[in-house]
Structure 1
Amino acid sequence: MNVYDLMDKYSKTNLILRKYRNSSMKYEELIRKSDALASYIIKRFDNNKMPIVVCGHKEHLMLVCFLSCTKSGHAYIPVDSSMSKERIKYIVENSNSKLIFNISDNKLHLDNIDIKNCAEIETIINSHATMIPDKIYRVQDEDIHYIICTSGSTGKPKGVKTTSNCLKSFVNWALTLWDYSEGTHYVFMNQAPFSFDLSVMDLYLSLYTGSTLFSIDNQMISNMKELFSYLKSSDINIWVSTPSFAEMCLTDINFNNNLLPRLKVMLFCGEVLTNNCVQKLQNRFKYISIINLYGPTEATVAVTAIKIDTELSSNVNPLPVGYIKNDCKLFIVEKNNSVLNNDEDCLEFNGVSYRILPEGEKGEIIISGKSVSPGYFNNNEISKNVFSKRIINGIENRYYKTEDEGYIKDNLLYYCGRIDSQIKLDGLRIELENIANSLREIEFIENAVVLPVKKENKLQYLAAVVTLNKVLLKKDFEVGLVIKEKLKNLLSNYMIPRKIIIKEHLPMTINGKINRRLLTEELK
């Protein structure tokens, strides 16, 4: 059964779809309002299937707009209201969209774009209240379901096209990651903004299972007291977040089983999950399953997963990111300097050949399978560099070259960081994530980020920003000297950061990831 039919089924019950602050929305309201708004979109645009931009943060109406778009045959593009107006303008212009549902307080002014605010959207819904859109218009199979914009090395957003088949593949697999029982009602935590693909995990797992989505917002995250008061009333069963968000919560001793007594599963994706973080969670929450996942937006949220038990968290460092899902494959590759000859041991991207490496060797991660996106929207030049296709036994297989580094051991993927985080200092190749992993091995370090410091576009030295898991009765510069001394047993001298900065917390982006850009600015 597809997501539309499932939600139609749930709408005939009294189930609560979502809780946010002091309000809630039932499945019945979502279906009724999305039917009305979809009918308006169909009447206005008919067979023009351009994407539609939805701008907001965590408002209920965002979900209504998402579903109305897909019911009328349009992909939706979620844009968070905290984004800069320049970024929003770029996304809209690149999407060729002629319609924006603006649920935020932002005053958007864009030429030749129809912008509907909250009051106008509600008026449209009321005026089409009795209309039900024909099912033939629905986005399905290889139609684009949503487009999430990510920033690459250029900083310009790239719209990742995700098909309904990609989404269905992810959901079917993700529901096997814990002891899921059909018909069980869960409460999923939604931490990430809807513009960040981690939110797809909690949103669609919740929708497919008839569960409740419990959302927190940026204002709560900046006020721990308010956040914990809100979480206390949540009855959350399934926690979905970045590791950084969990680490922020762990700084408060009240983040424990008493706060979330019904918590069963914690799903982590988007960043490196550290052993320290897992061990603290295992101490605070005795009966939960902690699942580590990996995957880029271009392969639909996540493609590998593993349950991290106490044996793994105690004995394996860094932690693996998991086993590949059953309808995908992983390849570890290096650039092949020989001529491409359609060898089965090679993959091609835009005329460049990559040799598949044997298990245990480190290289770039390539993902193939049903989760892989067909490419970037309106960006064929960049798409052909990282997306590829190959016909095998009459079936087209899509491939995505991640620019992530890793290796496979005993069928488990280990993530080693971004390819673009590899730098050269004084002619020597350095992998920043390797240094960060070594810092995390020091017994009193909670987490670490290693940053290259440049002056006049030239790399000068490395700096490490660390948080501690206990109070050391030393001045910061003395702690820095101790850290450097301990690193001598773990790293070559040229890899030891010149500068060690100690912080109480690592700053986060609105997506819940470590804010490396802000830390870099502070170093200037």
Structure 2
Amino acid sequence: MTYQELDEVSNKLGNYLKKKYGVKPNEFVGVKLNRSEWNVISLLAILKSGGVYVPIDIAYPEERIDYIIENSDCKLVIDSDEIYDFRSMEKLYSSVLDTADSNPDDLAYLIYTSGSTGNPKGVAIQHAAIANTILSQIEIFGNENKERALQLASFSFDASISEIFTVLASGGELHLITDELKKDTEELENYIEEHAINFATISPSYLKLVQLDKIKNLKKLVTAGEAAPVEEVKKYLTYGGTCFNAYGPTETSICATIYKIDGNDSLQEQANVPIGFPIANTKIYILGTDEKLLPFGAIGEIYVSGAGLAQGYLNNPEMTHQKFINNPFAEGEKLYKTGDLGKWLANGAIEYAGRNDDQVKVRGFRIELGEIETVIKQHEAIEDAVVVVKEDSLGIKETVAFFVLTPDSVSDTDDIKEFLEDKLPEYMIPSHFISLKEFPLTLNGKIDKKKLLQNKSLTENFSRNYLAPRDEVESKLAALWEEVLEVDQVGVLDDFFKIGGHSLKATYLITRIKTEFNAKLDLISIFNNATLEAMAGEIKKAQLVNAEVTISDDFENISI
């Protein structure tokens, strides 16, 4: 699709939204679509009509989708049926946009992030704020009209807005990657090479699964969403590319600081990749518990002020007041309390040093552990629950739920997991569920989370119907599962996703299966054949197909 085609069809859809629904500035319009060019067209059309873009992940549980639509009071939701209706009458609408009355202080989009109360919270971003971020990023990244960039992030996360507009606003070429391709690292590596992709934002968790020598032609790599992995960044830099480590909560319009690295020298002495320096029209403060400025090297909470701050949380003035405080250093300005900890380095850059609360980043997703705990406690059999985070051997973070059942109640982890699947997105479902009679306590009576993480149950497989592997493929696959999931004694009746697996580990498993068995499975095969028995069967089929292809190729090469 050319820029002209994109402009004309988004103008038509914008005119459709204004004339059919009367969309006006600061009115919310949801978008609930499968990944396609229509996500980008809808985003542009909403902004052109003056409305506020509200992305809704189609994979969310219905309860969460309903909450977002109700909480934001969406005027309409653009789904596949709405696109069909528009396409059927597209010719009735002009490709020249009717004037919109929006201004820089109007809202541009509303992103829902995890909330500690059990429901997500809507972060409201104005046009001026996101414009500042995008223009700053374009300048720092050095984007011109020759970027061939990936769009990888889910449209329900604000990282996608950065991916889209840093490319479209600088005249580049944007490649929307399908979910299937995104979940197959080998195919993505091939796509990057075949399409000469030279610019991409890749989350640290995903970067650990990619073979960096296969993406060495990627000239610009942006890491964001989690702490950047030092060793992977160093290896990437040996291929001559430039890495940008970006930091910023949703409340700061995606990005507040960026650290540019174009050689290993700047990382030799550092254990962590810094989060860098403030972008344009942004100030960073590192303050102590008394909200006083801290000196270089002292760890404190990171506060952000400037043009990129959100308007606040929709329909939540109390939380807005708590998190967006008056700036004691600049009259009339606000400071956003990030909850992130950091320190100033000698070169004036900032180093991230963790959190001061229960908000975490898992596989690139922002999660409030309190939200998961609140939902688990809604289960009738649960008396109490606590969720903690642990790192696996790959350095990928995952959540673990410990729970105490109510007296005389009977419930298993499968039942609890199914209960959560109706209420939480996939990435918020804990990888492990462990039942305890009581929680260990510290001397001052608080739950001892360090002792929870030392619980031997973390590596035990609680499968009630253990059946040992019966042949070589099942035995090798069981050993591979035990390594990837870090559990003991996997049997053929075990389900990958019920004993600790999730989509990112499934992506890694696909790569390992190809290496160990010379068999290629896709993510759909992994999900549809989640037991070891079924997955081993799929591997045997793939091996048989490979053998037939080899025989056929040999036959064709015979000279007669």
**Length-normalised TM-score, structure 2:** 0.64
Q: Which residue of 1 aligns with 2:533?
A: none
Q: 1:216 aligns with which of 158, 177, 188?
A: 177
- SS class of match (1:276): helix
* Higher-Rg member (1/2): 2
Q: Decide whether aligned partners of structure 1 residues 157 and 30 sit closer, same or farther in structure 2, where only a CA change above 3 A counts.
A: same
- SS class of match (1:177): helix
Unaligned 5+ runs, structure 1: 1-24, 104-115, 337-353, 424-431, 440-444, 467-475, 481-500, 510-524
- The answer (yes or no) to whether the contact 1:374–1:387 under 8 Å persists in 2 is no
Q: List aligned pairs for 1:96-175, cutoff 5 A.
A: 96-103=73-80, 116-129=81-94, 132-134=97-99, 136-137=100-101, 139-175=102-138
- SS class of match (1:69): helix
- Rounded Cα–Cα distance in structure 1 between residues aligned with 2:71 and 2:315: 7
Q: Which residue of 2 aligns with 1:454?
A: 402
- Rounded Cα–Cα distance in structure 1 between residues aligned with 2:2 and 2:454: 50
Kindly provide the CA deviation profile for residues 46-99 of structure 1, in whole angstroms up to 9, marking residues without a partner as x.
647411001124211121211111111111111122222211111100011120
User: Which amino acid is 1:326 matched to?
Assistant: A
Q: Decide whether aligned partners of structure 1 residues 86 and 502 sit closer, same or farther in structure 2, where only a CA change above 3 A counts.
A: closer
- Rounded Cα–Cα distance in structure 1 between residues aligned with 2:62 and 2:401: 29
User: Which amino acid is 1:38 matched to?
Assistant: G
- The answer (yes or no) to whether the contact 1:387–1:400 under 8 Å persists in 2 is yes
- Rounded Cα–Cα distance in structure 2 between residues aligned with 1:122 and 1:220: 27
Structure with higher strand content: 1
**For structure 1, which segment, 59-68 or 47-56, has the greater mean C-alpha deviation from structure 2 after superposition?**
47-56
User: Which amino acid is 1:312 matched to?
Assistant: S
Q: 2:207 aligns with which of 246, 265, 282?
A: 246
Q: Decide whether aligned partners of structure 1 residues 47 and 98 sit closer, same or farther in structure 2, where only a CA change above 3 A counts.
A: closer
- Rounded Cα–Cα distance in structure 2 between residues aligned with 1:311 and 1:149: 39
- Rounded Cα–Cα distance in structure 2 between residues aligned with 1:196 and 1:117: 22
Q: 2:50 aligns with which of 66, 69, 73?
A: 73
Question: 1:118 offset after TM fit, Å?
Answer: 2.5
- The answer (yes or no) to whether the contact 2:132–2:280 under 8 Å persists in 1 is no
Q: Which residue of 1 aligns with 2:237?
A: 282
Q: Decide whether aligned partners of structure 1 residues 47 and 219 sit closer, same or farther in structure 2, where only a CA change above 3 A counts.
A: closer
Aligned residues: 399
Q: 1:95 aligns with which of 40, 49, 72?
A: 72
Q: List aligned pairs for 1:27-66, cutoff 5 A.
A: 27-43=3-19, 44-45=21-22, 47=24, 49-66=26-43
Q: Decide whether aligned partners of structure 1 residues 306 and 381 sit closer, same or farther in structure 2, where only a CA change above 3 A counts.
A: same
**Length-normalised TM-score, structure 1:** 0.68
- Rounded Cα–Cα distance in structure 2 between residues aligned with 1:83 and 1:120: 24
- The answer (yes or no) to whether the contact 1:37–1:124 under 8 Å persists in 2 is no
Q: List aligned pairs for 1:179-194, cutoff 5 A.
A: 179-181=142-144, 184-194=145-155
The yes-or-no answer on 1:303 pairing with 2:240 is: no
- Rounded Cα–Cα distance in structure 2 between residues aligned with 1:64 and 1:390: 38
User: Which amino acid is 1:123 matched to?
Assistant: S
Q: Which residue of 1 aligns with 2:333?
A: 397
- Rounded Cα–Cα distance in structure 1 between residues aligned with 2:503 and 2:51: 41
- The answer (yes or no) to whether the contact 1:451–1:463 under 8 Å persists in 2 is no
- The answer (yes or no) to whether the contact 2:230–2:272 under 8 Å persists in 1 is yes
Question: 1:418 offset after TM fit, Å?
Answer: 2.1
Question: 1:168 offset after TM fit, Å?
Answer: 1.4
Q: List aligned pairs for 1:393-472, cutoff 5 A.
A: 396-410=332-346, 411-421=348-358, 447=395, 449=397, 454-456=402-404, 458=439, 459=449, 460-462=451-453
The yes-or-no answer on 1:370 pairing with 2:370 is: no
- SS class of match (1:146): strand
- SS class of match (2:103): coil
Q: Decide whether aligned partners of structure 1 residues 217 and 155 sit closer, same or farther in structure 2, where only a CA change above 3 A counts.
A: farther
- SS class of match (1:122): helix
- SS class of match (1:149): strand
Q: Which residue of 1 aligns with 2:380?
A: none
- The answer (yes or no) to whether the contact 1:57–1:193 under 8 Å persists in 2 is no
- Rounded Cα–Cα distance in structure 2 between residues aligned with 1:67 and 1:256: 30
Identity rate, percent: 26
- The answer (yes or no) to whether the contact 2:205–2:396 under 8 Å persists in 1 is no
- The answer (yes or no) to whether the contact 1:312–1:319 under 8 Å persists in 2 is no
- Rounded Cα–Cα distance in structure 1 between residues aligned with 2:359 and 2:4: 51
Structure with higher helix content: 2
**For structure 1, which segment, 452-461 or 265-274, has the greater mean C-alpha deviation from structure 2 after superposition?**
452-461
Q: List aligned pairs for 1:223-242, cutoff 5 A.
A: 223-242=184-203
The yes-or-no answer on 1:267 pairing with 2:230 is: no
Q: Which residue of 2 aligns with 1:349?
A: none
User: Which amino acid is 1:151 matched to?
Assistant: S
Q: Decide whether aligned partners of structure 1 residues 384 and 145 sit closer, same or farther in structure 2, where only a CA change above 3 A counts.
A: same
- Rounded Cα–Cα distance in structure 2 between residues aligned with 1:503 and 1:94: 32
The yes-or-no answer on 1:381 pairing with 2:281 is: no
Q: 2:168 aligns with which of 200, 207, 224?
A: 207
Q: Which residue of 2 aligns with 1:197?
A: 158
Q: Which residue of 2 aligns with 1:293?
A: 246
User: Which amino acid is 1:203 matched to?
Assistant: I
- How big is the alpha-carbon RMSD for the aligned residues of Structure 1 and Structure 2? 3.4
- The answer (yes or no) to whether the contact 2:192–2:215 under 8 Å persists in 1 is no
- The answer (yes or no) to whether the contact 1:375–1:387 under 8 Å persists in 2 is yes
Question: 1:231 offset after TM fit, Å?
Answer: 2.8
- Rounded Cα–Cα distance in structure 2 between residues aligned with 1:301 and 1:402: 13
Kindly provide the CA deviation profile for residues 113-140 of structure 1, in whole angstroms up to 9, marking residues without a partner as x.
xxx4331121243321455311x42x33
Q: Decide whether aligned partners of structure 1 residues 290 and 65 sit closer, same or farther in structure 2, where only a CA change above 3 A counts.
A: same
- Rounded Cα–Cα distance in structure 2 between residues aligned with 1:155 and 1:379: 14
Q: Decide whether aligned partners of structure 1 residues 179 and 70 sit closer, same or farther in structure 2, where only a CA change above 3 A counts.
A: closer
Kindly provide the CA deviation profile for residues 423-462 of structure 1, in whole angstroms up to 9, marking residues without a partner as x.
9xxxxxxxx99x97xx9xxxxx652548676343734422
